[in-house]
Amino acid sequence: MNTTLAPPQVASYQQNGFVAHRGFLTTDEVAELKAAVLQCVAEMGRKKVAGGGRDMQEEENYYDKVFTQRLNLWRINPIVKRYMLNPDLGRMLCQLEGIDGMRVWHDQTLIKEPFGNPTAWHLDNPNWSFYSRHSISIWIALEEATLENGCMWFVPGSHKLARYDNVGIGTNLADLFKVYPEMAKIDTVSVPMKPGDCSFHNGLCAHGAGANMTRKRRMAMTCAYMPVGSTFNGQQNILPDVYFKSLHKGDVLANDDWNPIV
Ligand SMILES: O=C(O)CCC(=O)C(=O)O
Ligand SMILES: [Fe+2]
């Protein structure tokens, strides 16, 4: 695991809201993490959230054909946990966001299957149970991500324009730009990746991915992180029902079992 960021990478992240980090995992690490993720996917069947999260099932709708999405694998697999909760990764996240501590929000594998739908432009953080200008995700390519099979695209600087208005990930690629027309005036940037490369993106940076026009899947492992001290905003997202019902708006989300510090 190459957890050293060059100062220009940090500066670029803060300016653009995303940055690529090539060669994050070695070939052996990619093989280990990929096998663990595929094992989890096989165990979970159509269940989307592992380890006691909100009950969500995969269906046959448009969104479920954007990718095979399985969340919180870290809760059922020690190998996934070792990677996603790695303290050196935690230090990188804090360095990028310029803050002192991060908790896991949720991990997710996103497998854009052959001929999978595009991932509409969206913001991540407005979907989650806390609002923060310092939430961050890592997106690790476990297989090659290309322009043909749906690599990630970003709108540089959009994290500075975004509010917490939530348009979700719908079927129209560009619905986000109805809410933020100023973002549609910025040139977008694609980030094709080799296996083991990763990118980081801020939870308010606009991003999406193209369709998979190929007969091979595009497999990624991602994890989202929440700044220590973040407070509950009233949204359930993937929180377990019992925990969700126990929360009041404004409570600090500090459950070390559900959202451990990295
Ligand atoms: O993999 C994709 O197509 C989208 C990924 C994404 O939206 C994310 O990691 O936040
Ligand atoms: Fe996203």
- Contact (CB, 8 A) for 41 and 80: no
The pLDDT tens digits of the residues spanning 139-190 come to 999 999 999 999 999 999 999 999 998 888 889 999 999 999 999 999 999 9
pLDDT at residue number 188:
98
The pLDDT tens digits of the residues spanning 34-85 come to 999 999 999 999 999 999 999 999 998 998 999 999 999 999 999 999 999 9
Paired tokens of 236 = 């359930």
216, part of any domain: yes
CA of 107 to the centre of ligand 2 (A): 11
235, part of any domain: no
249, part of any domain: no
Q: Which atom of ligand 1 is nearest to the CA of 150?
A: 3
CA of 68 to the centre of ligand 1 (A): 11
CA of 175 to the centre of ligand 2 (A): 14
Quote the mean pLDDT of the chain.
97
Cα separation, 157 vs 132, in Å, equals 16
Q: What is the CATH number of the domain that holds 17?
A: 2.60.120.620
Total domains, the chain:
1
CA-based nearest residue to 106, from 159, 185, 48: 48
239, part of any domain: no
| Residue 245's pLDDT band (cuts 50, 70, 90) | very high
196, part of any domain: yes
Mutate-to-test residue for ligand 1 from 110, 123, 201, highest number of ligand atoms within 8 A of CB:
110
3-state helix, strand, coil in the chain (%, to 5): 30, 25, 50
Residue 141 Cβ contacting ligand 1 at under 6 Å? no
Q: Does the predicted model carry a pTM greater than 0.95? A: yes
Structural domain including 182 reads: 7-228
236, part of any domain: no
Query: Around ion ligand 2, which residues have CB less than 5 A away?
Result: 124
